[in-house]
Amino acid sequence: MALTLFDGLPPYFGNKRKLCPVIFNRIAKFFQREQWAGATFVDAFLGSGAASLYAKAQGFRVIANDIAERSVIAGKALIENNGVKLTESDLHQLFIPNPDNQHLIEREFVPDVFPLRHARFLDNAFANAKTPNQRYPLMKYIFSVRPYSKFSSPNAFNRPFESGDFDKIKPTYLGHIKDNLKSPLEILKREMLSINTSIISNGQKNEVHKSDVFDFIDKVDGNILYLDPPYAGTLAYEAEYAVLDTILGDSKTVSKFSSDDGADMLDALLAKAEKFPLWVISFGNAGGKNDLNKLVEMVRKYRQCEYWSFAYTHCGAMASEEHKQQSREWVLIGYKNS
């Protein structure tokens, strides 16, 4: 499958774009491809939406969940939505002066996060955007002018950009310099095209929920449960994306899954997931902090398990060479004896 399907997804630390073909090839060993159309793929940690979008393209009915509004907005725009594409008229509506504009971004995040002109546009545009389909292009806009790999670090990009010290900005951020010099409409038109590429129909009634993951798996059923939790001992999304969450009115405390003993949370989740015939788990070694053998033992407390390990680097722009060499991604499949 052409990976252009993923063009409309948000950039995300834990995205699974390149790993999706590998994951679904492993799924086919336990759940035959001819059974996929209409079967239910339950994604308990939607994140960037890559796994859910890939499952949707393969014909699965997708039921996805995330506690973060940023992921829910993306999911409703791309997973629930089976065909309503953005138009230039949708974009132009974002520029209408809105008397309810609270100027939050201009007050709180200039110049450390956004240049003034982009902040002013975003404040007014968010006041106009009431639905996920309207808000999602603005999320993509934010990621185009703010490097997601340094989202919480003003010294890496925005301060030198605002002061004109371009030589202090790493070459990896050249694209963001160019984007910050573009007009809001230019950026939105480009993002509209990428988002529309990812809006597809699979003929199914797909759903995106926003709830605690333990409550979510209690209330839904499916053929496959996919678990891609925040990895223990890694950067917490709530910390790295705090600015975006504040803009969306969705600030949260750091997830317990991200703590050093976060694997215990996964164990508790598996204990509640017996009703799902097939478990598919993605997990990472956090540069050597996590132990694959312990994870396999955890799954085997409940059912049979097969597993694979791959070299895989998340967010290469901010990872050290040593971390890249040590980084591993694991895929585990928990299945019941036939």
Report DSSP letters for 24-35, one per residue.
HHHHHHHS-GGG
- The structure's pTM equals 0.92
Pair (151, 173) in one structural domain: yes
Pair (32, 63) in one structural domain: yes
Pair (79, 208) in one structural domain: yes
- Dihedral of CA atoms 50, 65, 253, 147 in degrees, nearest 10, equals 20
Domain CATH for 266: 3.40.50.150
**Coil, strand or helix at 40:** strand
Instruction: Look at the chain and report how many structural domains it folds into.
Output: 2
Q: CA 45, CA 15: separation in Å to the nearest integer?
A: 11
Residue 181 lies in a domain: yes
Pair (105, 215) in one structural domain: no
Q: What is the pLDDT of residue 292?
A: 93
Residue 303 lies in a domain: yes
CA–CA–CA angle 72, 146, 3 (5° rounding): 60
Pair (221, 319) in one structural domain: yes
CB-based contacts of 291, cutoff 8 Å, min separation 6 = 285
Residue 244 lies in a domain: no
CA–CA–CA angle 117, 122, 123 (5° rounding): 100
- Residue type, position 55, single letter: A
Asked whether 122 and 138 are in contact (CB, 8 A), the reply is yes
Pair (105, 79) in one structural domain: no
Residue 127 lies in a domain: yes
Pair (73, 206) in one structural domain: yes
Strands 328-335 and 304-311: antiparallel
Containing H/E element for 306?
strand 304-311
Pair (186, 45) in one structural domain: no
Pair (206, 330) in one structural domain: yes
How many Å separate Cα 100 from the centre of its chain? 29
Asked whether 107 and 134 are in contact (CB, 8 A), the reply is no
pLDDT tens for the chain, 338 residues long, are: 456 899 999 988 777 889 999 999 999 999 999 999 999 999 999 999 999 999 999 999 999 999 999 999 999 999 999 999 999 999 999 999 999 999 999 999 988 888 899 999 999 999 999 999 999 999 999 999 887 666 666 677 778 887 888 888 888 888 888 899 999 999 999 999 999 999 999 999 999 999 999 999 999 999 999 999 988 777 788 888 899 999 999 988 888 888 878 788 999 999 999 999 999 999 988 777 889 999 999 999 999 999 999 986 655 444 445 545 577 899 999 999 86
Task: Provide the residue range defining the domain that includes 27.
Answer: 3-83+202-239+249-335
Pair (71, 208) in one structural domain: yes
Residue 327 lies in a domain: yes
Residue 189 lies in a domain: yes
Pair (40, 101) in one structural domain: no
Residue 184 lies in a domain: yes
Q: What is the pLDDT of residue 338?
A: 65
Q: What is the pLDDT of residue 320?
A: 46
Residue 141 lies in a domain: yes
Q: CA 126, CA 139: separation in Å to the nearest integer?
A: 10
CA distances from 152 to 130, 187, 239, 241 (A): 26, 22, 8, 7
Pair (72, 206) in one structural domain: yes
Tens-digit pLDDT profile for residues 239-290 = 888 999 999 999 888 888 888 787 889 999 999 999 999 999 999 887 778 8
